[in-house]
Structure 1
Amino acid sequence: MEAEKSHIIIRGTGLISPQGYDAASVAAAYTAGIPSFSTVMHHGQAVPVAALPTTAEAELQRLTHSDPNYRQLDRSVLLAIYAARQAAAEAGWLQEGTATADDLGVNIGSSRGATGLFEQHFSGYQQSPEGALSSSASPTTTLGNLSSWVAHAVNAGGAQISHSITCSTALMAVANGVAWLKAGMAQRFLAGGTEAPLTPFTLSQMKAVGIYSKLAVQPYPCQPYAVEKQNTFVLGEGAAVFALEQVASDRLAAGDVVVEAVGLGFEKIMSKTGISAEGINFQKSMRHALAQLPEHDRQVDLIITHTPGTRAGDRAELAAIEAVFGEKSPAITTNKWLIGHTLGASGALSLQYALYVLQHQQFAAIPFPTLLPSFSVSRFTRIMINAAGFGGNAASIIVYCNR
């Protein structure tokens, strides 16, 4: 007897980003198509960044002061807690004062982790003649801090996983959630990514790689796919978390968003950033994902690309898309020209952008000249989201909206 087919659906979504503090505020910002960049002074140089707007910052501060324990946590952890509670509430899972939900797993990832707090503690260590540190230095800067505090905040008692696979981190968290649900090791799962990298040391690291945008005074400091040959990488901050659940086919409802495929790819490091001109890692992850679709229906309407605004990375991903899809390329877009690159959270915020497109059947038009091919799509039903990170890894997730 054939087993009943089941699906992984996104039951709830939580986010906080340079565009806003929930789906409604972010949707309004995407519809307006206004970039969320500001300028900070970094070692005497004006540098563009994408920080939380004042409304989102106020929401984050409200969370911080809601629990005395939160005041000692890193900003990356607070962003994750905020997004996770929002996702759990939308899914109907946020039950205060009840027993721990042992069937609810958590996987929150980050590329850099507790960057701000680590820098603060290390600065104190350097300035102390005895090398003294606060007793909270170690427990509040460990990577495991991410999921454990989220688990406390949403009353989850299942698996608590924190990880980093650089900028593919968030999509890898979703991949883990899908795998755990399909394996029956959890009944519900919160998965996503968080990043708070707008610190002096992290900005210096990105500038040292030679990719940071010099367009601080321009309206579009981050320009993925730009015709002009220059690097326009801009750091942003934020978090997005998804409540995942497995349901049988007869329980699928109209409007449910299904995680249809998860593809992974890897190529041996050929450079500091670990990507070849052909984008081999992207080719592998996209083909891996497409192979999981029904053989008679492997059409993708839109690809939300990783493209962080670097010459080599952007062109490599476009080359990979051409190699995989040929002349039948789907429409292509990104949200990084609006919110910058949020490192380990970027894949999650791209996935949330896909949900926006599926709901509103539109995406913001890129206002500067690009290398993108022309396209004509009347309806968006299935979307692929790409992410890649230092080290040669890549991930591709395909979602569709059940009509």
Structure 2
Amino acid sequence: MTGRRVAITGIGVLAPGGIGAKNFWNLLSEGRTSTRGITFFDPSSFRSRVAAEIDFDPEEHGLSPQEIRRMDRAAQLAVVATREAVADSGIVLAELDPYRTGVTIGSAVGATTGLDQEYRVVSDGGRLDLVDHRYAVPHLYNHFVPSSFAAEVAWAVGAEGPSTVVSTGCTSGLDSVGHAVDIIREGTADVMIAGSSDAPISPITVACFDAIKATTSRNDDPEHASRPFDGTRNGFVLGEGSAVFVLEELESAKRRGAHIYAEIAGYASRCNAFHMTGLRPDGAEMAEAIGVALDEARMSPDSIDYINAHGSGTKQNDRHETAAFKRSLGDHAYRTPVSSIKSMVGHSLGAIGSIEIAASALAMENHVVPPTANLHTPDPECDLDYVPITAREWRTDTVLTVGSGFGGFQSAMVLARPDRSIA
């Protein structure tokens, strides 16, 4: 590693209830929820019938009919988020060395929406055992290959450097950005377009989570169905979305006068090697990832001003995280505000880690901690300060954001103001 420091200079977000970073932040800071009954298909046969959907029209956001035909919904979201991030950064793509510009995109489930739709077409609604490929869209192969997401983003920005898709379940959005940081630090690239995208609200995904009862069955009250850390929580709300960032070597960003949202000061990932969907209650692996990320950032636990939690709203996750924060931060965990934006925008699987990085950077920008919506009933096992219902003005110079994914993945990232003193 060269020791180069990495900054976020551009943010693009498409999230339920908030298309564009400004609208996204307004939703969070106002504590509004965007969860509702599923409208993308008839959910009547499913156990969980709520989701956090984006009212997204690709034509309105500048995608051509050919791009819409070619790309799965998740790829469309990623390209539109990329365009916003690049515009926000003020970077001039034509002035970049394309071989020193790279892309990393995270996704947990790839082109689920497109594959589900196309299967219904080629199987005549599931009636044909032997499907008829002649009815498929010409670019169906792109739906089978998640690398097409990174390719679409690379084409959009003219990047000819490292191009990668990271798929580590629900930590994909954190891990893709962490990987991009490593690429800049090692000197392979100067600019990375990094983030994640998932559009999983489809019958096959809903059925899968129904089978393991991971999603909420609170169908009579969709607006308040996502309840992280609340004593009445009973599962997460499936969502969709994308967040993409322009990452640059810090000194180069300063020289061009870029607006710097935050430095990505530390990142680490661990696996519990324990269970595909289960978590140990002591939070040891997440705590280890947090400790390593803090060490990389050269910070002590009491440097953290705010924790952006994974906060999925499942019984085991919220207990696991609470234990991890206590284990890694000690007594400081009790003095640190913690919140889960999944209470407002749902759980977009591989995309949510990047969306939460965006929320963390914007919290630093505004010195406001977004709330945990729908938190009315305290859970004795979750006894930290979860910022219930209402956003809080709070001096926020350093943020810890974490993710937890099926397969046992546990990731942590530390964002900090770049003018901080470094030990």
Instruction: State the Cα deviation string for residues 171-226 of structure 1 (Å, max 9, x = none).
Output: 11111111110111111001111010110110111111112112222241011101
Distance verdict in 2 for CA 1:316–1:91, change over 3 Å: same
* 1:101 matched to 2:98: yes
3-state DSSP of counterpart to 2:313: coil
Q: For 1:102-138, what per-residue CA distance to the aligned partner results, in whole angstroms no more than 9, with x for missing partners? A: 2210011100000011112223343357533234222
The answer for the alignment partner of 1:147 in structure 2 is 150
- Given candidates 336, 354, 357, the residue that maps to 1:351 is 357
Quick one: structure 1 residues 194 and 360, their matched pair in 2 at CA, closer, same or farther if it must change by over 3 Å?
A: same
What is the alpha-carbon distance in structure 2 between the residues aligned to residue 350 and residue 29 of structure 1?
Answer: 13
Instruction: State the Cα distance separating 1:295 from its structure 2 match.
Output: 5.5
Q: Quick one: which amino acid aligns to residue 249 of structure 2?
A: Q
- Counterparts of residues 184-333 of structure 1 (less than 5 Å): 184-218=187-221, 219-228=223-232, 230-248=233-251, 251=254, 256-270=261-275, 272-294=276-298, 299-329=303-333, 330-333=336-339
Q: Which letter maps to 2:209?
A: M
How do residues 98-177 of structure 1 correspond to structure 2 at under 5 angstroms? 101-127=98-124, 131-133=131-133, 134=136, 135-177=138-180
Residue type of the partner of 2:70?
Q
2:117 and 2:171 map into 1 onto residues whose CA distance is 27
Q: How far apart are the structure 1 equivalents of 2:10 and 2:183?
A: 18
- The aligned amino acid for 1:27 is W
Runs of 4+ residues deviating >6 angstroms: none
Between the aligned partners of 2:122 and 2:69, the Cα distance in structure 1 is 20
Secondary structure in 1 aligned to 2:238? coil
Following the alignment from structure 1 to structure 2, what is the Cα–Cα distance between the partners of residues 354 and 282? 18
Superposed CA offset, 1:221-252 (max 9, x none):
01110123x42310011000111111239948
Q: For 1:171 and 1:380, how far apart are their aligned partners in 2? A: 20
Amino acid at match of 1:266: C
The secondary structure found in structure 2 opposite 1:225 is coil
1:266-310 Cα distance to aligned partner (Å, 9 max, x none): 11123x414211122211211111112325685111111112110
Match of 1:168, as an amino acid? T
State which drifts further: 18-27 or 360-369: 360-369
The count of residues paired between Structure 1 and Structure 2 equals 394
Which has the larger displacement, 20-29 or 238-247? 20-29
C-alpha distance after superposition, 1:344-364 (max 9, x if no partner):
001101111111211221133
Which residue in the other structure is 1:398 paired with? Answer: 414
Output the aligned Cα RMSD: 2.6
Is the Cα–Cα contact under 8 Å of residues 9 and 260 in structure 2 kept in the other structure? no
CA–CA distance in 2 between the matches of 1:80 and 1:378? 31
Instruction: Say whether the 8 Å CA contact 1:193–1:240 is kept in structure 2.
Output: yes
2:44 maps to which residue?
A: 43
Distance (Å, rounded) in 1 between the aligned partners of 2:230 and 2:309 = 14
Please say if residues 238 and 345 of structure 1, whose CA atoms lie closer than 8 Å, have aligned partners that are also in contact: yes
The Cα shift of 1:99 comes to 9.0
* DSSP 3-state at the match of 1:306: coil
**Structure-1 separation of matches of 2:252 and 2:66:** 44
- With 311-320 and 131-140 compared, the bigger mean Cα shift is at 131-140
Unaligned stretches of 5+ in structure 2? 387-391
- What residue ranges of structure 1 are gaps of 5+ in the alignment? none
Distance in 2 (alpha carbons) for counterparts of 1:186 and 1:213: 42
The residue identity in structure 2 corresponding to 1:68 is Q
Which residue in the other structure is 2:384 paired with? 373
1:179 is paired with a residue of what secondary structure? helix
Q: Percent identity?
A: 23
**Residue in 1 that maps onto 2:389:** none
8 Å contact from structure 1 (residues 193, 348) kept in 2:
yes
- In the other structure, the counterpart of 2:342 is 336
Q: Is the 1:85–1:94 contact (alpha carbons within 8 Å) kept by the matching residues of 2?
A: no
Alignment partner, residue 182 of structure 1 = 185
Structure 1 residues 221 and 183, CA, compared in 2 at 3 Å: closer, same or farther? same
Query: Take 2:299 and 2:416, find their aligned partners in 1: how far apart are those partners?
Result: 16
Range with greater deviation from structure 2 (335-344 or 373-382): 373-382
Q: Is the 8 A contact 2:110 2:143 kept in 1?
A: no
- TM-score, normalising length: structure 1: 0.90
Secondary structure of the residue that 2:99 maps to in structure 1? coil
8 Å contact 1:94–1:154 — kept in the other structure?
Answer: no
Give the residue type in structure 2 aligned to 1:50. A
Cα 1:131–1:250, aligned 2, differ >3 Å: closer, same or farther? closer
Q: TM-score, normalised by structure 2?
A: 0.86
Structure 1 residues 249 and 206 mapped into 2: Cα distance closer, same or farther (>3 Å)? same
Counterpart Cα distance in 2 of 1:149 and 1:117: 15
Change over 3 Å in CA distance of 1:112–1:214 after alignment to 2: same
The residue type equivalent to 1:43 in the other structure is S
Equivalent-residue separation in structure 1 for 2:339 and 2:143 (angstroms): 37
